[in-house]
Amino acid sequence: MPLTDIKIKKAGAKEKAYKLSDGKGLYLEIRPNGSKYWRYKYRFVGKEKLLALGVYPETSLAEARGRLLRARKLLENGIDPSQDKKKKKALAKENAENTFEVIAREWYDNRKSRWRKRYAEEIITRLEKDIFPEIGSFPILEIEPPLLLQVIRKIENRGAHELAKRQLQKCGEIFRYAIAIGKAQRDPSQDIKEALKPVKKEHFAALDVGELPEFIAALERNDARLYQSTRNALKLIMLTFVRTSELINARWEEINFDKKEWIIPTERMKMGREHIVPLSRQAIEVLENQKILAGHWPLVFPSSVKPRNSISNNTILGALKRLGYQGRMTGHGIRALAMSGIKQELGYRHEVVDRQLAHVPRNKIDKAYDRALFLNERKVMMQEWADYLDEVANSGVTISGDFVNRKKA
């Protein structure tokens, strides 16, 4: 006779365990301590087996019967319910262990030796900030395109469109790594690329060569009352046209006053290669002045508030704003100005200027040619650029034509 809830509740403990049958192999085992366990007795391939279906009252009579129906359905399809339960339990355990964050950190540990230290730190920091809090605890197998898109759109909604694109690319690399090691079956990042907002290419504000006299005059007059250290930073970036990050994080140990060279180490270069910056006589003068201002601090441009830290990019942008060049010039724009000025006014070849800007060669032939570094030619070029800036400052006009030949005349 089938069980009822009333009968189950009234069933008390006895000296020995006993059973209350519900039919079709389902029964309730009542132990001497009063605990009540649902069991299903069945035969598979001629062998008697037992399947645990839960504990009463956490698993009600109706729930136990539902589990019985599912087990009998498996038997009809030739599947052993006990083995199926073990497989599902193992899969659940594997999924819990193979979360997105676990796989992502494994991928990171596998890749980081190939990256520059600063780049590696940036990757893991961004994942920890933007991705792990959202889907880090999810089994990687369960992450579908809509969930991933929701995460990436949160980054987009901050206005960080380029970062959103890069984070999606990194997530794609993690999913493809998971596929390779048998932890995932597909890469959902491929399905949402078209759902992202297009990224507009950023163009940095830069002056035209013809505006150089006005800018240099404003810097020399210093009506903006900039600190001498800040003026030195602007002058040095004009004379060397390094990236702003390379300038503000410069250290005295990188400067060789005897050789008149600034060697920026691999870990500080965007393209991951050591870069030699020939220093003109004027650049050396700026650095000697800055050495007095910086004192014993290892940074060339220490912060006036926290001298163990460098000045920030905002220091450069703020100085340009106070000089009246907000929206007209940026630190990066100085690089563009130098490139056009050296090519147009001094007549140097593109590849020589490009190498001084530390751009990576496009192919193997260029790389082989690049190994010579054009160093001797760049030394001459950097001095002539500094001399050119001096003449512009003194004359107040740009000097058009072949400056190199004009000087020799």
Q: Among the residues of 51-204, which ranges form H helices?
A: 61-76, 81-97, 100-111, 117-126, 132-135, 145-156, 161-180
Annotate 172-241 with DSSP letters as a single string. HHHHHHHHHTTS-S--GGGGSGGGSPPPPPP------GGGHHHHHHHHHHTTT---HHHHHHHHHHHHH-
Q: In sequence order, what are the residues at sequence separation of 6 or more whose Cβ sits closer than 8 angstroms to the Cβ of residue 280?
A: 239, 260, 382, 383, 385, 386, 387
Phi then psi for 324, rounded to 5 degrees? 95, 20
3-state helix, strand, coil in the chain (%, to 5): 55, 10, 30
Residues designated as active site: 243, 270, 332, 335, 359, 369
Structure-token pair, residue 163: 């970062």
- What is the Cα–Cα distance from 251 to 214, expressed in whole angstroms? 31
Structure-token pair, residue 168: 């999606």
Structure-token pair, residue 382: 């950097």
C-alpha distances (whole Å) from 69 to each of 26, 62, 73 are 10, 11, 6
Peptide bond just before 139 cis, omega within 30 deg: no
Q: In sequence order, what are the residues at sequence separation of 6 or more whose Cβ sits closer than 8 angstroms to the Cβ of residue 282?
A: 235, 239, 386, 387, 389, 390
Specify whether the CB–CB gap between 105 and 99 falls below 8 A.
no
Amino acid at 356: Q
CA angle 317, 265, 355 (to 5 degrees): 75
303-314: b or e for each residue (b if 16 or more CB lie within 10 Å)?
Answer: beeeeeebbeee
Strands 47-56 and 261-264, by their bridges, are: unpaired
